[in-house]
Structure 1
Amino acid sequence: MKKQMMIAASLSTLMLVGCTSNPYTGEQQTGKSALYGLGGAAAGAAIGAATSGSDDRAKGALIGAAVGGAAGGGYGYYVDKQEQRLRQELEGTGVRVVRNGENLQLVMPGNITFASGSSDISSSFYPTLNSLVKVFKEFDKNGVEIIGHTDSTGSNDLNMRLSRDRAQSVASYLASNGVSSARISAMGVGPSQPIASNDTADGRAQNRRVEINLRPTQQ
């Protein structure tokens, strides 16, 4: 029982450390990084307990909790700050910032990135890409996966080529402006991953897009 109480106390402490006060409301809130840290701590505790002998199971769980919590909370905090900077830089640009756990996704509608049927970046979109370059160079600990999408109008071969060329255009621009090419990958998937119906003009407009996925790099 004493060992179980020690483990529970360790996890509770990690959660309390992750709680912060909202500067605008004064209310206590738990940031995403704290939640990732707690999840990492729980996983670490389980692994630590499972891989230790019976006499050292509580000790192993505590060590696992500390290591797992630090790893999860560390990258979670990094993504918190990166998300904040991206939302600040991209406000009013038409680019959507989507948070999914430790992954960030930027959704760039086709109507603001490329002219119809072209893989040449619209000149009006350069300032937005320059903002991305600034943030990607400031936050350089994750990979930059660029995916081009189209609607279903036209042949599949044409759409695959267009989506690939558009993704590569964005990748080339980022790399030529100082984002490490080792972090960047680009691919086109054509109309295979729609997010809306291709039966309506509005749906097709939503499907014509470029997405950038920011994920932890493999260590």
Structure 2
Amino acid sequence: MKNSKLLISSLAAISLATVSGCVTDPNTGEQKVSRTAGGAVIGGALGYLLGDIIGGDAARIIGAGVGGTAGAVLGKQFDDQIRELDEEVAGTGVDVEEIGDQDAILVRLPDGVTFATGSANINAGFYGTLDSVAASLVKYPNSLIDVYGFTDTTGSDALNQRLSEQRAQAVADYLVSRGVARSRIATQGFGERYDYLRVKTGDGVAEPLNRRVEIKITPVSQDDVQAAQGM
């Protein structure tokens, strides 16, 4: 893992391959097109995932009050956390992915399940899943957490931008209510941008499925903390 990676922005594009298939939504029991299904185009240049953390300067690292993890331990803790998260959310529709080379963990909450259309209220049936995510963040405290909100295309651009910010804040507030330090968390809304999946409907229109929130967990090393303190 690169030293001081939190202090250097490195935008990168991510391309994802597609395969055919359908899945049963574990929360609703309904059949839906998989995020990797044929006829769907998964979001293109998601450079924000590998970019710097929100407000990614030394002040945020210091303000978060994390001590950092020794380099020799950081890699193992990263592997342990991503494995445990994957096991905890299995069957919920949540995706847990590694970003870069142990640069961050991305927890992607599913479209259409976390929020209803036009709402920033977390569906009550999803609380248990968020409880598992929060428990992981408490167990592994040496990380910064970015919460990204998104919307579908229903409504105006301005309305959707505000709604995406509210969704990100709702998830952040819930994590804090479960013991995650607020100082570790930053939020950002992207509105209709970076749609995760487009599915062609019967009339040939590509419909975005984008009512989601992503939680990016960026581990902090002792080298990161020392570099921040020295700036």
User: TM > 0.5 between the two?
Assistant: yes
Residue from 180, 205, 208 that aligns with 1:204: 208
User: TM-score normalised to the size of structure 1?
Assistant: 0.63
Percent identical among aligned pairs is 37
* 2:91 is aligned with 1:88: no
1:184 shift after superposition: 0.8
Contact 2:117 2:211 in 1 (8 A): no
Q: Say which SS state the counterpart of residue 108 (structure 2) adopts.
A: strand
> Is the contact between residue 115 and residue 212 of structure 2 (CA under 8 Å) also seen in structure 1?
no
- Residue type of the alignment partner of 1:184: I
Distance (Å, rounded) in 2 between the aligned partners of 1:79 and 1:147: 21
Match of 2:157 in 1: 156
Structure 1 SS opposite 2:141: coil
Note the alpha carbon deviations across 1:17-66, whole angstroms, 9 max, x for none: xxxxxxxxxxxxxxxxxxx5xx88xxxxxxxxxxxxxxxxxxxxxxxxxx
Equivalent residue for 1:24? none
- 1:187 is paired with a residue whose SS is strand
Measured in 2, the distance between the counterparts of 1:183 and 1:86 equals 19
Structure 1 counterpart of 2:144: 143
- Offset of residue 199 of structure 1: 6.5
Rounded Cα–Cα distance in structure 2 between residues aligned with 1:76 and 1:110? 30
Q: Distance in 2 between matches of 1:151 and 1:165?
A: 14
Structure 2 Cα separation of the partners of residues 202 and 178 of structure 1: 40
C-alpha distance in 1, partners of 2:154/2:199?
A: 8
Give, in whole Å, the separation in 2 of the partners of 1:134 and 1:196. 29
Partners of 1:179 and 1:87 lie apart in 2 by: 19
Q: Which has the larger radius of gyration?
A: 1
**Is contact 2:147-2:187 (8 Å) kept?**
yes
SS across alignment from 2:125: helix
Contact 2:150 2:164 in 1 (8 A): yes
The total of aligned residue pairs comes to: 151
Determine the structure 2 residue equivalent to 1:215. Answer: 218
Name the counterpart of 1:77.
76
Q: Structure 1 residue 198: deviation in Å?
A: 7.5
Match of 1:184 in 2: 185
Counterpart check, 1:195 vs 2:196: yes
Classify the secondary structure of the residue corresponding to 1:112: coil
Indicate if the aligned counterparts of 1:151 and 1:198 stay in contact, CA closer than 8 A. Answer: no
**8 Å Cα contact 2:196-2:208 kept in structure 1:** no
Q: Describe the SS at the equivalent of 2:208.
A: helix
2: CA distance between counterparts of 1:121 and 1:152? Answer: 19
Q: C-alpha distance in 2, partners of 1:104/1:149? A: 18
1:214 CA displacement: 0.5
Q: How much does 1:151 deviate?
A: 2.2
Which structure is higher in helix share? 1
Deviation for aligned residue 1:134: 1.1
Partner-residue secondary structure (3-state), 2:195: coil
CA distance in 2, matches of 1:167, 1:198: 24
Greater RCO (Cα-Cα under 8 Å, separation 6 or more): 2
Cα distance between partner residues in 2 of 1:199 and 1:148: 23
Normalized against structure 2, the TM-score is what? Answer: 0.60
Any idea what the Cα deviations from partners look like across 1:60-85, whole Å, max 9, x if unmatched?
A: xxxxxxxxxx72x5322111010011
In structure 2, relative to structure 1, the CA distance for the partners of 1:185 and 1:169 (3 Å cut) is: same
Ranges in structure 1 where 5+ consecutive residues have no aligned partner? 1-35, 41-69
Q: Which amino acid is the alignment partner of residue 133 of structure 2?
A: L
Aligned-pair CA distance for 1:196 = 2.9
For the Cα contact (< 8 Å) 1:164–1:188, is it kept in 2? Answer: yes
Once residues 199 and 155 of structure 1 are traced to their aligned partners in structure 2, the CA distance between those partners, rounded to angstroms, is: 22
Amino acid in the other structure paired with 1:177: R
Shift of 1:176: 1.5
